[in-house]
Amino acid sequence: MVQLSTSVCLLGGFLGLCLIEPILTSLTPSSMCTPLRTLNDSLSHRRRYMKHYFPVNYTIRVHQREVFRLSNISRMRSKVKGVEDLLLQRLWFQVNQGVLKKIIRVMPERHPSRPYTAELEQRFRDAEGVFVQSHPAEVFQQELPETIQDIWDYLTEEPDRVPESSWRLAPPKSLLDNLYQTMFCLFSGCFAGEEAQQNYCGVSHWKKGRKKDLRPES
Ligand SMILES: *[C@@H]1O[C@H](CO)[C@@H](O)[C@H](O)[C@H]1NC(C)=O
Ligand SMILES: *[C@@H]1O[C@H](CO)[C@@H](O)[C@H](O)[C@H]1NC(C)=O
Ligand SMILES: *[C@@H]1O[C@H](CO)[C@@H](O)[C@H](O)[C@H]1NC(C)=O
């Protein structure tokens, strides 16, 4: 199987097909930046809607693979052969689509955070639409590295077939923190601040801001 796809790739290479991929995967298409910045705007209100409007220590049940943090990204980048940003971006969309659905599902119709979360999900889907459009369709048909394929299979498994041991309890705010931080890491091209080369993928970058985050709110 692997040999087959390699030779297809070599043949494609002659036609320039294989060249498309490394070029595209190394950058975030600029068309992604508008929807992602919109998403960032929504996410800046996550503390209020995901914490204050929920009972203290409230958690929801998610698949363990839906806990997708910066540490997962650095681990995959160093351990999984052939993992490119584009793959991680696809995984990011897949994971967080499930996360947002699960958060919405626990909220009654008249929960004060419901309109916020519905809008967030809509903005997320808009970003995903642009993401899909801005890459050639072949990119999404590529065979995934085995480790990533395994994660993908877990994520798309029917919930009632997921073993009890694979569920985790997580506060909704922390799930959105993960979504937020990994977004800056994986799409850093859209979020360059005054310091041109901010390392959004580093855990230390986010720890810096923690003090402010812990300040009691009025
Ligand atoms: C993200 O959104 C917040 C709130 O609107 C804004 O203050 C911040 O500058 C945005 N960050 C980036 C990198 O665009
Ligand atoms: C919330 O969790 C913290 C830390 O586990 C605990 O100290 C606190 O008592 C909990 N609060 C409530 C209301 O359960
Ligand atoms: C991220 O790492 C944690 C363990 O630290 C693991 O439970 C989780 O499944 C990983 N997420 C993904 C998407 O692989």
pLDDT in tens, 149-178: 999 999 998 888 889 999 999 999 999 999
Ligand 1 pocket mutation pick from 36, 41, 199 by most atoms within 8 angstroms of CB: 41
Tell me how long the chain is: 218
How many whole angstroms from its chain centre is CA 89?
6
| Weakest-pLDDT range from 10-19, 34-43, 93-102, 145-154 | 10-19
Q: How confident is the model at residue 205 (pLDDT cuts 50, 70, 90)?
A: confident
What's the average model confidence in pLDDT over 38-53?
97
Tokens of residue 48, six digits: 């209020």
Domain 26-208 belongs to what topology? Growth Hormone; Chain: A; (1.20.1250)
Q: Does residue 83 have a pLDDT over 90? A: no
**Phi, psi dihedral angles at 96 (to 5 degrees):** -75, -20
Nearest to 120 by CA among 32, 58, 41, 29: 41
Looking at ligand 1, which residue's alpha carbon is closest to its atom 12? 191
Q: Whose CA is nearest to atom 5 of ligand 3?
A: 72
* Ligand 1 mean position, distance from CA 11 (Å): 45
Out of 24-28, 44-48, 194-198, least confident range = 24-28
State residue 206's pLDDT score.
85
Q: How far is CA 39 from CA 42, 130, 193, in A?
A: 5, 13, 17
CA of 76, closest atom in ligand 3: 14
Question: Hey, which of 52, 54, 56 would you mutate to test ligand 2's pocket, going by the most ligand atoms within 8 Å of its Cβ?
Answer: 56
Three-state secondary structure of 156-209:
CCCHHHCCHHHEEEECHHHHHHHHHHHHHHHCHHHCCCCCCCCCCCCHHHHHHC
Confidence band for 195, pLDDT divided at 50, 70 and 90 = low
State which amino acid sits at residue 148: I
b/e 3-13 (16+ beta carbons within 10 angstroms → b): eeeeeeeeebe
Q: What percent of the chain clears pLDDT 70, i.e. is strictly above it?
A: 80
Task: Say how many Å lie between the CA of residue 27 and the centre of ligand 2.
Answer: 43
- Provide CB contacts within 8 A for 142, sequence distance 6+: 21
Cβ pair 61, 191 in contact under 8 A: no
pLDDT at 58 over 60: yes
pLDDT of residue 11: 46
CA–CA gap between residue 168 and residue 95 (Å, rounded): 14
Give the pLDDT mean for 203-207: 84
Q: Which atom of ligand 2 is nearest to the CA of 56?
A: 13
Tokens of 174: 């922390």
Domain ranges of the chain: 26-208
Q: How far is the CA of 40 from the centre of ligand 1 (A)?
A: 6
Closest residue by Cα to atom 3, ligand 2, is 57
DSSP H/E element including 114: helix 114-133
142 neighbors 16 (Cβ within 8 angstroms): no
